[in-house]
Structure formats: C-alpha cells, structure tokens
C-alpha cells in the first residue's frame, strides 16, 4: 500500500492484485528486448514482461472519502479464467488501510471496463447490491451511453457492476470535466473508451493526475504512440496520450498510474526526443 500527500489531499492505494500475464495481449509492442533496453522501466518489468497493478485509489479531500475505480470484484462471472468468480480479500485490505465502505462519500469511475467497476457491487443474498451504500457513484454520461448498449467481452460487466447502482438510485451522470470540489475534478482523456476520464487533484499549489487507462504502463510514456489492444479508438488514444505527456512534461505534477506497479507514481520529464517517468 502506497500513499501520497498533495497539499491537504491524501491519496491511498489499495491493491487487489498484480500480474505479468496480460502484457503480451495488451501491449505486444513491449517486447522483452525493448523493455530491457530502457533501464528506467526496470521496476515495472518482471522476467521481460510488463507488470500491471489493479488497484483502487482513495482520495481524502475536504472531509470527503472518494474512491477512484473499484477493481475486479468477487463472485463475478468473467470469461477471463483468473478473474472468473474471484475470491479475494480486497475489502479486508480496504478496511486495513483505515477505510469503511459505509463512510465512502463518492465513487468515481474513469471508465466502465471490467477491472474498474467490479467492487462497485457485491453479492448479497444472491443479489448484486452497491458496495458503498452511502456514496454517490459518478459516471461520465458518454461512457454510460456507450456501455449501456455495447456488450463487454469479459462478461455481463454492465449488468452486474453498473446497472445495480442505478437501480439503487445511487448513480449520477456527469460531464467529462465535472468538478467534485475545489480540489478534485475530472479531465477528459478519450480513446481507451468513448467517455474515459482522468482525475485531477490540486491543493495548496501541488498537483496530481490519476491516469485511468489513458496510460496502462510507463512504457507508453516513453512510446506514447503505442496504443493497447484494449483501446476503443487506437488513433484517438495515441493522440490523447501524446497531448497528455507533452502537457505535463517537466512540470511538478505527480502522475499516478491506475495500473502502474510500485512505485506507481512519478513526474514526466523530457528524455531526449521522448519522455520518461521520474520516480
């Protein structure tokens, strides 16, 4: 578990799992030869394969507890064998980090993929119910409109992890630049999905951005033209990523990767004709 202080804002990472098995399917461009040729990538690589972390980020701001993305979840029927009917201890880890599900005020969703909405609901008496029963769940309107009609390849993700939140009356559709409070707002980063957003944090002159899947792995900072095979629009994704790394390069803005393994966060700096993560 890692945490970061951004002015008055506290951000805490709660990890569900890490994996080195998805890389060849997600970013086949990241060959072992390439990964070994870029020394600064070493913390994010294992045996010549990229490491991905699936984690939640909990923001404490203005007396609010705000959850960003809710990982994979337990008991969910999924076509990917390692995630099917998973039985993990994520909620115990969440509580061990000092949080309670009934004291979460807001749940933010960068996008509605399988590994970002899973713990939005949990199975109770054979029904999917919201895990954070006192929270408002915020979804970008464009993202909701897309996945309401578009099936997901991993299983009934919308049906078991999104629709029950709406059925419970806890969901709000918002714009892609929605402001949660004066310290936290959404930042549109489309391409991976139609309504994908990142989360911007600013307090007392300090800043951070939570990427979502606009960047899956730090190698895409070095090679922003590399889109993942999971991207809805590869050209748009690459354009968004190029603009992002150029905008934040050499600025004192902490970039927190939604799938970056430890150390998970750093600052983007120019590195010759490209970029790297300074951690």
* CB 274 within 8 Å of CB 222: yes
Taking all residues of the chain, what is their mean pLDDT, rounded to a whole number?
97
Which phi and psi (to 5°) does residue 265 adopt? Answer: -140, 155
Q: What is the average pLDDT across 155-168? A: 98
Q: Round to whole Å and give the CA distance between 107 and 277.
A: 28
Task: Determine contact, residues 91/72, Cβ cutoff 8 Å.
Answer: no
Is the pLDDT assigned to residue 263 strictly greater than 90? Answer: yes
Mean per-residue pLDDT for 240-252?
A: 98
At 1-19, the pLDDT tens digits run: 899 999 999 999 999 999 9
DSSP state of 106: E
Is the peptide bond prior to 263 cis by the omega test (within 30 degrees of 0)?
A: yes
CB 10, CB 2: distance < 8 Å: no
Please tell me the predicted confidence (pLDDT) of residue 23.
82
Q: What is the pLDDT of residues 125-147, one digit of tens each?
A: 999 999 999 999 999 999 999 99
Other CB atoms within 10 Å distance of the CB of residue 141: 14
Tokens of 6: 């951004």
Q: Per-residue pLDDT for 25 more than 90?
A: no
Quote the percentage of the chain above a pLDDT of 70: 100
Q: Which domains does the chain have, with CATH numbers?
A: 3-278 (3.60.15.10)
In the chain, beta strands by DSSP E? 3-6, 9-19, 45-46, 49-50, 52-61, 64-68, 106-108, 121-124, 127-130, 136-140, 171-174, 179-181, 184-188, 197-203, 206-210, 253-256, 265-271, 274-278
What pLDDT score was predicted for residue 24? 85
As given in the structure block, the two tokens for residue 244 are: 């992002």
Q: What is the dihedral of CA 157, 162, 138, 232, to 10 degrees?
A: 30
Each residue's pLDDT tens digit, 70-98? 999 999 999 999 999 999 999 999 999 99
Angle at CA 165, nearest 5°, toward 164 and 166?
90
């Amino acid at each position: 578990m890692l945490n970061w202080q951004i002015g008055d804002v506290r951000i805490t990472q709660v990890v569900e799992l890490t994996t080195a098995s998805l890389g060849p399917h997600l970013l086949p461009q990241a060959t072992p030869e390439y990964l070994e040729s870029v020394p600064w990538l070493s913390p994010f690589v294992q045996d010549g394969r990229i490491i991905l972390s699936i984690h939640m980020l909990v923001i404490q701001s203005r007396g609010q507890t705000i959850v960003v993305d809710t990982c994979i979840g337990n008991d969910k029927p999924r076509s990917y064998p390692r995630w099917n009917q998973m039985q993990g201890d994520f909620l115990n880890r969440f509580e061990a980090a000092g949080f309670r599900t009934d004291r979460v005020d807001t749940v933010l969703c960068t996008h509605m993929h399988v590994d970002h909405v899973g713990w939005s609901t949990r199975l109770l008496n054979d029904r999917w119910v919201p895990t954070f029963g006192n929270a408002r769940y915020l979804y970008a309107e464009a993202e909701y409109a897309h996945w309401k009609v578009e099936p997901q390849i991993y299983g009934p993700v919308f049906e078991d992890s999104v629709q029950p939140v709406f059925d419970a009356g806890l969901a709000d559709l918002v714009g892609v630049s929605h402001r949660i409070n004066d310290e936290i707002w959404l930042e549109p980063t489309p391409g991976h999905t139609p309504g994908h957003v990142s989360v911007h944090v600013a307090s007392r002159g300090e800043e951070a951005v939570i990427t979502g899947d606009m960047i899956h792995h730090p190698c895409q900072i070095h090679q922003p033209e590399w889109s993942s095979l999971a991207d809805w629009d590869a050209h748009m994704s690459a354009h968004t990523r190029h603009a992002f790394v150029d905008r934040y390069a050499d600025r004192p803005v902490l970039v927190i990767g939604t799938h970056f393994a430890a150390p998970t966060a750093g600052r983007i700096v120019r590195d010759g004709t490209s970029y790297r993560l300074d951690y």
